[in-house]
Amino acid sequence: MALNYQEEAFIHRASSVDFVVINVVTKKPVLVVEVDGFAWHENNPVQVARGKLKDSILNRCGLRPLRLATNESGEEEKLRNELSAATAQM
């Protein structure tokens, strides 16, 4: 997996994800969760761009991040469904 210059620069800064669920046997990530607050993410074009770049990097690693908004309903159900799917693959 080769990253472009922008992706390389991004991961070498203080970038992180909110939560990672790993398979304890393989030590590999099976689910990445990002919690997006409206005031910080949806109102800020810079943060939206950073989120898209982060998603691109994670996708290249074979991970599709679950993005949960703090101003929407049904987020708990989304998380439960993704956790069930991730643990079923272990």
CA 77-71-66 angle, to 5 degrees, is: 50
Encode the chain (90 residues) as per-residue pLDDT tens digits: 788 889 899 989 878 999 999 999 999 999 999 998 877 666 788 888 888 999 999 999 999 999 998 888 899 999 999 999 988 877
Q: Would you state the pLDDT for residue 40?
A: 65
> Which residue's entry shows tokens 């770049």?
53
Q: Would you state the pLDDT for residue 72?
A: 82
Q: pTM for this one?
A: 0.83
Tell me how far apart the alpha carbons of residues 51 and 69 are, in angstroms, rounded to a whole number: 13
